[in-house]
Structure 1
C-alpha cells in the first residue's frame, strides 16, 4: 500500500484550501468578473501608474505569462491603457483608464471587507502573526516563482 499524507496537517493543502475560501468569498462579495489577481494589477497601476509589465509582475507576484494575459484582457475591457516609453521604445508603459480607476475604487471597500472577514476568523492576538507567517511563506523563492532567475 502506498504512503499517504495526513492532508489536514499538510501546509500546501491548507494553503490551497484557504485560497479556495478566499476565491469563493471574493466571487460572492467583490466581483465575479475581476479576479483578485486582476484586482492586484489594477491596484498596482493605481499606486504606480506608468510602470512596465515586468515591474507590474514583480509588484503583484504574478509570472510573466499570467501578467501578459491579464493585461491584454484588461486592455480589451478598456480598464488599462498602454503606450510606448519614449525613452526606451522597447518598453510599454501601463496605466489605469478612467474606467479602470472607477472600477478599482468600487472594489476597494468590498476587498477590505473580505480581508477583515478572513482575519476576523482569528483571535485578535493571532492576526498579525498570521499575516507575518503568510508573508514569509509567500516570499519564499520569489524570483524563481516569477521566472526572474
Structure 2
C-alpha cells in the first residue's frame, strides 16, 4: 500500500489552501469581477506605464498566455489601451486608461484590507517573517533568466 502524506504538514497543500482563502476574501471584499491577477496587471501598469506584454508578464510573475488573456479582457473593458511601439512595430505598449486608473484606485484600499486581514491571522512578531518566507518560496523560479529552475 502506498504511503500517504499528512496534508496538514505538506507545504504545497497549505499554499493551495491559503490561496483558496485569499481568493474567497478577494471575491467577498475586493471584487467579484476583477481577479487578483488582473489587479496585479493594473497595478503594474500604474507603476510602469508603456511597457510591453513580455515585461508585464515578468513583473507580475504571470505566464505570457495568462497575461495575453488578461490584457485582451481588460482592453475589451476599456481599462487598458494598447499602442504600437514606433521604435519596434512588433511590440505593443500598454497603458491604463482613465477608467483603468479609477478602477485600480477603487481596489487598492480593499486589497490592502484583505492583506492586513491575512497577516492579522498571525502573531504580530511573525508577520514580517511569514512574508519573507513566502517571498523566498515564490522566488524559487527566479533563475538567471527568470524563466524557472
**Which TM class, normalised by the smaller chain length?**
over 0.9
What's the counterpart of residue 37 of structure 1?
A: 37
Q: 2:64 aligned with 1:64, yes or no?
A: yes
Q: 2:88 aligned with 1:88, yes or no?
A: yes
What's the counterpart of residue 130 of structure 2?
A: 130
Aligned partners of 1:61 and 1:142 also within 8 Å: no
Assess, with a 3 A threshold, how the Cα gap between structure 1 residues 41 and 143 changes in structure 2: closer, same or farther.
farther
Assess, with a 3 A threshold, how the Cα gap between structure 1 residues 148 and 135 changes in structure 2: closer, same or farther.
closer
| CA deviation after TM superposition for structure 1 residue 147, in Å | 4.8
| CA deviation after TM superposition for structure 1 residue 142, in Å | 2.9
Structure 1 gaps, min length 5: none
What's the counterpart of residue 105 of structure 1?
A: 105
Two-structure CA RMSD over aligned residues (Å):
1.5
Q: Provide the secondary structure at the position in 2 that maps to 1:140.
A: helix
Aligned partners of 2:141 and 2:148 also within 8 Å: no
Aligned partners of 1:119 and 1:127 also within 8 Å: yes
| CA deviation after TM superposition for structure 1 residue 37, in Å | 0.2
Aligned partners of 2:7 and 2:13 also within 8 Å: yes
Aligned residues: 148
The normalised TM-score by structure 2 is 0.95
Q: Aligned partners of 1:148, 1:114: CA distance in 2, in Å? A: 29
Q: Which runs of 4+ in 1 moved over 6 A?
A: none
What's the counterpart of residue 11 of structure 2?
A: 11
Greater relative CO, 1 or 2 (CA 8 Å, sep 6+): 1
Aligned partners of 1:42 and 1:96 also within 8 Å: yes
